[in-house]
Structure 1
Amino acid sequence: MFLGTHTPRLDDKGRLILPARFRDQLLDGLVITRGQERCLYIFPMQEFQRMHEEMRQAPLTNKEARDYQRVFLSGASSELPDKQGRVTVPPLLRTYAGLERDVAVIGAGARVELWDLRTWESYLDEVEPAFADRREEVLPGVL
C-alpha cells in the first residue's frame, strides 16, 4: 500500500527518483498514465494489469468506456526503475500534468499519484476543508 506525501524534483532529463518507501513495490515494473485532476497515476505492473482486465469487461458499444480507455491507455508508459530508483516520465505525460521540476508524489493506496507541486497544494487548499467537514458517508461502510 502506498501512503504519504513526498516532494522530490524531476531532473533535467525528466526522471523522478521514487520515494524509498515506494521502491520495493515498484521494482518489478510500473505503468505511468494520465489521471484525473491533471495528475499522473503510477501503478505497480500487477495492479495495472488487474485494472486493464476490469476495463476489458466494458462493452465495446459503450462510447464513454471506449473514450476513457483510449485516453487512459494511449498515454500509458511502462517503466522499469533504474538502480537509483529513477524512472523517466515521458514528455507527453509531463505536459499533461504540467510537471516541470517541483513535484508531489502521494501515496493513494493501490497507486501513486504524481502532481505538479503547486497544483497539488492548490488542490489540497480547495478540497481539504470539505474533507474536514464531511458529514455523510463518501465511502460507504469505511468510515
Structure 2
Amino acid sequence: MFLGTWEYSIDSLGQLVLPTPYRSALREGVVITRGFDSCLQCFSPAAWLRFAQGISGLPLGIAEVRSLRRLLFGAASEAQLDRLGRVALTHNLRVYAGLGDTAVIAGLDSYFEIWSPARWRGETQRFQQLAPGQFDLPPLVSAADTGHTRSPHL
C-alpha cells in the first residue's frame, strides 16, 4: 500500500529517490507512465498488470480507448530501483509531468503519483476549494455500524 506525501530532489541524471516505505513493494521494479492529471502514475508490476488488463479489455473500435492506450502504454517505462532506492525517470516522462529538480510523491493506495511541486499545490488547492457536499463519497462503513443513514461529505 502506498501512503503519504513526500518531496524529493531529482538529480542531474533524472533519478528520484523513492520513499523508504515504498521500496519493499517495488522489489520487482516499478512501471511509470503518464497520469491523467499531468503527473506520473507509478505501479508495482503486479498492480500494473491488473490495471493494464482492465484497459486491454476495452474495445479497440472506440477512438477514446485507443487514445487512452496511447497515453498510458505508449509512454510507460519499466524501471528498477538502485541500491539507494532511486528510480530513473525518462526525459519524456519528466517533460510530460513538468518536473524540474524536485518532485512530490503522493501515495494513492495501490499506486503512487509523481507531481511537479507547482502542479501538486494547484491540485491540492483545487480540491480544498470544492464546495462542501459538491460530491458524495460512498459510505466507508455501513449505516448500521455508525447509526448514520447518509453518505459522508467532504
Q: Specify if TM > 0.5.
A: yes
Aligned to 2:66: 66
Structure 1: give runs of 5+ residues left out of the alignment: none
Partners of 1:10 and 1:84 lie apart in 2 by 13
- Secondary structure, in 3 states, of the residue corresponding to 1:8? strand
Aligned to 2:44: 44
Larger Rg: 1 or 2? Answer: 2
* Equivalences for residues 1-143 of structure 1 within 5 A: 1-130=1-130, 133-134=132-133, 136-138=135-137, 140-142=138-140, 143=152
Count of aligned pairs between the two proteins: 141
- Secondary structure, in 3 states, of the residue corresponding to 2:105? strand
What is the TM-score of this pair, normalised by structure 1?
0.93
Deviation readout 1:65-103 (Å, 9 max, x if unpaired): 111011110000000101111110000000000000121
Deviation readout 1:19-48 (Å, 9 max, x if unpaired): 111111112111000001100001001100
Partners of 1:65 and 1:141 lie apart in 2 by 30
Structure 2: give runs of 5+ residues left out of the alignment: 141-151
Say which structure is richer in helix.
Answer: 1
Question: Residue 135 of structure 1: CA displacement?
Answer: 5.4
Partners of 2:37 and 2:22 lie apart in 1 by 22
- Larger RCO, structures 1/2 (Cα 8 Å, 6+ apart): 1
Cα-Cα RMSD:
1.4
